[in-house]
Structure formats: C-alpha cells, structure tokens
Amino acid sequence: MLTREEALAVLQGVPDPEVPVISVVELGVVRDVQVDGDCMTVIMTPTYSGCPAMREMEADVKAALLARGVPQVEVRTVLTPAWTTDWIGPEAREKLRRYGIAPPGRAEPQGFVTLTRARPAVACPFCGSADTQLQSEFGSTACKAIHTCRACGSPFDEFKAL
C-alpha cells in the first residue's frame, strides 16, 4: 500500500485532460488523499460544478493508483470550499504560460462571479505584451477565454481567474 505522500507523487503524473501540461494536483482539484487499510480515498473538488472533464479526471486518478498496486480506490467529490484558481501554484502557472495559456490572475473575493465588458489586460504568454484583445469570453472550455496579441499577432487562451 502506498503512503499518502507516495500517492500524491503518483497523482502528480496524472495530467489535466483539458490542459495536459499540468497535473490534477497542480491544478488544485486533488484536495487530499486518505489511507484506511486497503482503501485509498482521493478527495477532489471540480473547477466548477459542470466541469465535463471531472469524470475523466476521476477515472485517471483511480487508474493511476490501481496501476501502482493500491487494492481499492475511491474518489469523493467535495464542493466546499469551492475551487478557485488561487489553488494553482506558481510553478503550474509558469507551465501554463510556457504552454501558451495566459495563467489566471488572483481571484477577486466576491459572493458571485460576474461577467463584465471591462476587464484588465491579459499579458501575452508568448511575448509578454499587455497590448492584447479579448476575442471571446469562452474558449475551448468554459474556464478559458480567447485573446489575440496586437504586438506579436498570436492568438492565445487565458485561464480565467475564478
């Protein structure tokens, strides 16, 4: 049986299915691992309640631990506290930038998520310019927006702060 720390190390190798440059641990959706005899419980929080990748993440987490000899793996989904992009660490944010996705800024504490037309400029992950333009509030996934850089002409995704 793996220890909690060994299990977390295994899960560092499980990529986010929508942004495979970071792991589910780096994304912050893996909240904890608990070991009780032959059973390992992985506690996860989805990025948002309708995240279509959550079931795939759960299956990948189970498969990775079962492949390492854990006899029984359960995944428990918790919704409180709600996931926030603040759970993405600095190293993962840099991986996002190098991958071509503008990492999220700090999430503003608020009771509700509101969409407004006025947004702060997002720095281009390729050239660093803040001379960028929002093309679409929703990109390939609901957690991303599409921008273009006026300086270098590159289109890029932004991982929105939540």
Checking if the pLDDT of 11 tops 80, the result is yes
Q: pLDDT-based confidence at 117, cuts 50/70/90?
A: low
Reply yes or no: is the peptide bond before residue 81 cis, omega within 30 of 0.
yes
Exposed/middle/buried for residue 117 (C-beta within 10 Å: 0-12, 13-18, 19+)? exposed
Average pLDDT over residues 157-161: 92
What ranges do the domains of the chain cover? Answer: 4-77, 88-159
- pTM for the structure as a whole: 0.82
Q: Is the pLDDT of residue 118 over 90?
A: no
Mean pLDDT along residues 46-54: 87
The pLDDT of residue 161 is 86
Is residue 2 predicted with pLDDT exceeding 80?
yes
| Per-residue pLDDT tens digits for 27-42 | 999 999 999 999 999 9
Residue 111 has pLDDT above 80, yes or no: no
25 pairs with which residues across the strands? none
CATH class, range 4-77 = alpha beta
Query: Computed from CA positions of residues 27, 29, 35, 40, in that sequence, does the dihedral angle turn out positive or negative?
Result: negative
DSSP string, 15-81: B-SSSTTSBHHHHT-EEEEEEETTEEEEEE--SSTT-TTHHHHHHHHHHHHHHTT-SEEEEEE--SS
Whole-number pLDDT of residue 140: 85
pLDDT above 90 as % of the chain? 79
